[in-house]
């Protein structure tokens, strides 16, 4: 809390942003500061709405007629990767004084929605409910859990999601839900050239009616600028290496909220211990000492563009299973051109000390790939691919076209 004109007030996004700029944690950017102002205005409107709701709820005590209040418009913030969208939204999420709020990656939210729809249909089949349409009860339950929804990386590539978004969000907005979202694409480019896109278009109109659209046209990719100055393979183990890994993580996630996540693979959950935006962080034990397979690593590399792995040990023949998983993981990371940041007990060429079995031969490829992924050419190519993410996301719907 802060003091303003002698009155105690809540902290603002502006104050948080100014503090980070003054301490050197970020570089001021005029485009970001426009978003900062919009987020603070939205917080003010949400606080006013909450107070109005409390007042109207007690209005009968004073014989006052309850007034209809205009719905609060949310924000849809779009721009290229690395411009600070997620950082700013997470500041908002932390500071908005609302108890029922939810911050989630958009794809994870839609997976939750589809699961709820499926459970409703099963309940209808078993005679546990008489309601045929699952959208109204699902929307009502979601709105009851959170009336401020913050979505990271709003994108639509799945036809099943595309076909229900208009009805789902119409119901959510009717329940008073306020949306704050970040995306690499403008609303008009969502699900571009997707199958049956005409059925999706009403959602874009609904979105624009209920959220102000802001373009974060920052001059630099601050995340890459800082990360490119840092090593991506760190050894030997110790406090200094751990500190460097933490610094690289902060630079990559650019202040985004870090939390546990999970991915659904063939009906089971693969735990992601730490995730923020499009970055994930594992220890070697979490990644390679558990019975993960190729599908798990494909799901991880398909969801995250940067992966941190802490504490990779030297592997001997008594750890062949872990070595096999690490070989498979590195192959998957390499094939999908995911950026890898590693702390390890030894340099790549000294990580496997076994002399027998296929692992000794296969680890030569792992060593070569670990070394290549540290090269400037590899990192520059990754940066170019990231810069094209917005365009690729807009075109992703084409893969669904008949």
Answer yes or no: are the C-beta atoms of 162 and 200 closer than 8 Å: yes
Examine the domain organization and report whether 249 and 202 are in the same domain: no
State the Cα–Cα distance between residues 97 and 330, nearest whole angstrom: 43
State the Cα–Cα distance between residues 114 and 112, nearest whole angstrom: 5
For residue range 55-101, list pLDDT tens digits in order. Answer: 554 444 444 444 456 789 999 999 876 678 888 998 999 999 989 99
Q: For residue 260, tell me if it sits in a domain.
A: yes
Query: Beta strand pairing status for 101-105 and 74-78?
Result: unpaired
Q: For residue 399, tell me if it sits in a domain.
A: no
User: 88 to each of 14, 215, 338, how far by Cα in Å?
Assistant: 10, 13, 25
Q: For residue 171, tell me if it sits in a domain.
A: yes
Query: What mean pLDDT, rounded, does the chain reach?
Result: 83
Q: For residue 383, tell me if it sits in a domain.
A: no
Percentage above 70 pLDDT, the chain: 83
Which has the closest alpha carbon to 72: 103, 43, 32, 97? 43
Query: How confident is the model at residue 34, as a pLDDT?
Result: 92
Res. 227 pLDDT band, cuts 50 70 90: low
**Residue 181: pLDDT above 90?**
yes
Examine the domain organization and report whether 58 and 191 are in the same domain: yes
Q: Whose structure tokens read 């500071």?
A: 95
395 or 198: which leads in pLDDT: 198
Q: For residue 225, tell me if it sits in a domain.
A: no
Domain that holds residue 63: 2-215
Q: For residue 224, tell me if it sits in a domain.
A: no
Q: For residue 37, tell me if it sits in a domain.
A: yes
Examine the domain organization and report whether 294 and 195 are in the same domain: no
Q: Name the pTM for this structure.
A: 0.58
Examine the domain organization and report whether 297 and 356 are in the same domain: yes
Among the listed ranges 30-39, 175-184, 186-195, 286-295, which one has the minimum average pLDDT value?
A: 186-195
275 or 153: which leads in pLDDT: 275
Examine the domain organization and report whether 71 and 138 are in the same domain: yes
Examine the domain organization and report whether 247 and 353 are in the same domain: yes
Examine the domain organization and report whether 366 and 276 are in the same domain: yes
- How open is the CA angle 307-271-256, to the nearest 5 degrees? 50
| Cβ-Cβ contacts under 8 Å for 132 (sequence gap 6 or more) | 124
Supply the CATH number for residue 364's domain: 3.40.50
Answer yes or no: are the C-beta atoms of 287 and 325 closer than 8 Å: yes
For residue range 356-382, list pLDDT tens digits in order. Answer: 767 777 888 899 889 888 887 777 777
User: 394 to each of 51, 156, 305, 355, 391, how far by Cα in Å?
Assistant: 40, 9, 17, 48, 5
Query: How confident is the model at residue 81, as a pLDDT?
Result: 67
Query: Beta strand pairing status for 306-312 and 339-344?
Result: parallel
Examine the domain organization and report whether 209 and 260 are in the same domain: no
For residue range 281-328, list pLDDT tens digits in order. Answer: 999 999 999 999 988 999 999 899 899 999 999 998 889 899 999 999
Examine the domain organization and report whether 39 and 66 are in the same domain: yes
Res. 222 pLDDT band, cuts 50 70 90: low
Examine the domain organization and report whether 109 and 142 are in the same domain: yes
Supply the CATH number for residue 166's domain: 3.40.50.300
Res. 6 pLDDT band, cuts 50 70 90: very low
Look at the chain and report how many structural domains it folds into: 2
Examine the domain organization and report whether 75 and 185 are in the same domain: yes
Examine the domain organization and report whether 61 and 127 are in the same domain: yes
Q: For residue 141, tell me if it sits in a domain.
A: yes
Query: How confident is the model at residue 113, as a pLDDT?
Result: 93
DSSP sequence for 179-206:
EEEEESS-GGGTTTT-TTGGGTHHHHHH
**Residue 36: pLDDT above 80?**
yes
């Amino acid at each position: 809390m802060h003091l303003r004109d002698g009155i105690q007030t809540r902290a603002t996004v502006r104050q948080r942003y100014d503090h980070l700029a003054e301490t050197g944690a970020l570089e001021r950017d005029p485009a970001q500061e426009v978003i900062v102002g919009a987020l603070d205005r939205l917080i003010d409107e949400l606080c006013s709405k909450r107070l109005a709701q409390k007042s109207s709820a007690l209005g009968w005590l004073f014989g006052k007629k309850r007034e209809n209040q205009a719905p609060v418009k949310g924000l849809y913030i779009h721009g290229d990767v690395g411009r600070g969208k997620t950082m700013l939204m997470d500041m908002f999420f932390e500071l908005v004084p609302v108890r029922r709020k939810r911050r989630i990656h958009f794809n994870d939210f839609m997976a939750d929605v589809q699961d709820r729809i499926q459970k409703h249909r099963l309940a209808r089949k078993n005679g546990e409910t008489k309601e045929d349409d699952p959208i109204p009860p699902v929307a009502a339950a979601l709105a009851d859990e959170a009336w401020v929804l913050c979505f990271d990386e709003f994108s639509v590539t799945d036809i099943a999601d595309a076909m229900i978004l208009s009805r789902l969000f119409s119901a959510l907005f009717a329940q008073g839900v306020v949306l704050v979202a970040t995306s690499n694409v403008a609303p008009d480019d969502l699900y571009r050239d997707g199958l049956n896109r005409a059925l999706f278009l009403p959602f874009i109109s609904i979105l624009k009616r209920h959220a102000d659209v802001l373009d974060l046209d920052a001059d630099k990719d601050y995340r890459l600028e800082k990360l490119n100055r840092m090593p991506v393979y760190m050894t030997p183990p110790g406090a200094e290496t751990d500190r460097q890994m933490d610094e690289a993580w902060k630079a990559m996630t650019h202040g985004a909220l870090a939390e546990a996540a999970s991915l659904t693979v063939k009906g089971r959950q693969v735990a992601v211990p730490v995730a923020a935006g499009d970055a994930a962080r594992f220890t070697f034990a979490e990644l390679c000492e558990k019975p993960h397979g190729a599908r798990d690593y494909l799901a991880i590399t398909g969801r995250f563009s940067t992966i941190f792995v802490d504490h990779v040990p030297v592997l001997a023949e008594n750890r062949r299973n872990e070595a096999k998983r690490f070989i498979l993981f590195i192959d998957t990371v390499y094939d999908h051109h995911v950026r890898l940041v590693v702390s390890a007990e030894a340099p790549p060429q000294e990580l496997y000390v076994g002399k027998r079995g296929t692992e000794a031969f296969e680890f030569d490829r792992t060593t070569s790939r670990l070394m290549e992924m540290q090269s400037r050419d590899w990192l520059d190519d990754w940066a170019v691919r990231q810069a094209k993410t917005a365009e690729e996301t807009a075109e992703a719907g084409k893969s669904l076209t008949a």
